[in-house]
Structure 1
Amino acid sequence: MENLKLLSEFFQAIDNDFRISTTHIAIFAALLQFRANRGFINPIQAYSIEIQKIAKIMSPKTYHKCMRELHEYGYLFYVPTKNKSRRSSIYFI
């Protein structure tokens, strides 16, 4: 139920935000699905490829760009890692 509330709040927030694309929406929804599969923890720890697979996004460049923008726009808090053997942290606000 909490994920549905977050998704609903996200859609309300982006209603008039022209910066948000379908790719941003796909990533946000994928993050919520990933979170649900892990017991609704906050923050989630994820490799980019895990979220890309759920969101059906092939390009790592697109994924990282959209994640950075979602962070900059205030929709989530993203702590990327440069170490490929460590997961990034994503906090839902």
Structure 2
Amino acid sequence: MNYIQHLNARFVDFYGDDRLHPGHFSLYMALFFYWNLHRFPEEFYANRAELMTMAKIGSKSTYHRLLKELQDFGYIEYLPAKSPHELSRVALSQNCTDNSTLMGRTRTIFGTYRPKSVPDTLYRKQYKPNKRSLGAKPRSQLEVLDSFKEKKYDLEEAFKFFNHYQAIGWKIGGKVTIQDWKAAADNWMLKARELARERKEKRALGSGDHLITTTEKDYGEPL
């Protein structure tokens, strides 16, 4: 049994059947799931509680009404249990059209449909990755923290980096949009380490700074 062909045929049938509503559709798909689970036998046991949960049906009366209607419409055959200790059985109709006829019906329904408000160029437009997929900016501050932690960067710099670029709209110099925030983060850390190294060198040379004195001076004494 070709289950893809079966589903396609059913979708086409559902499209043209004005008697159906979402309840019929959800129950049929739940039945199809269990039919697939049992490897498409001629009939299978129907567990009402499981089917109601799968189809999101909250009422037993609604469940039985939908089953009966699907049977009356020719989509299933419902075989109720004769005893409370037995499970009911269901058989799904396999009266599907052949593949060539099915494809023709599908194209007739869907192939020529096009909303008038959508220009033809939209249907010819090829897929292009957006800036988001290129990593233009992080999804959240947590993503930045995780990236800095993974690279063993200072987490305090992660907060500084995120807050700085979040405030200016993730643009370099406030003008050019960042194309890859992770590359910008690497540059940020290179600059941060360079500044830290310069501050360290200045501290090491601090004893030679004429502005730093090691003795106290009494500024109350006359010159």
TM > 0.5 = yes
Q: Could you tell me the TM-score, scaled by structure 1's length?
A: 0.87
Structure 2 counterpart of 1:77, one-letter code: E
Q: Which residue of 2 aligns with 1:76?
A: 76
- Which structure 2 residues correspond to residues 34-45 of structure 1 after superposition, within 5 A? 34-45=34-45
Q: Which runs of 5+ in 2 are unaligned?
A: 94-223
Q: Which has the higher strand share?
A: 1
Q: How many percent identity over aligned positions?
A: 28
Q: Summarize deviations over 1:5-55 as a string: whole Å, max 9, x none.
A: 222211111222111010100000001111122222221111211211111
Structure 1 counterpart of 2:72, one-letter code: E
Rg larger for: 2
Contact 1:42–1:91 (CA under 8 A) maintained in structure 2: yes
Structure 2 counterpart of 1:59, one-letter code: S
- 1:10 counterpart = 2:20: no
The alpha-carbon deviation at position 84 of structure 1 amounts to 2.4
- Compare 3-12 and 67-76 and name the one that shifted more: 3-12
- Which structure 2 residues correspond to residues 15-30 of structure 1 after superposition, within 5 A? 15-30=15-30
**CA-atom RMSD, angstroms?**
1.6
Q: With a CA cutoff of 8 Å and minimum separation of 6, indicate the structure with the bigger relative contact order.
A: 1
SS in 2 for 1:89: strand
Question: How many residue pairs get matched?
Answer: 93
* Distance change (3 Å), C-alpha of 1:84 and 1:6: farther
Spell out structure 1 runs of 4+ moving beyond 6 A.
none
CA distance in 1, matches of 2:57, 2:4: 22
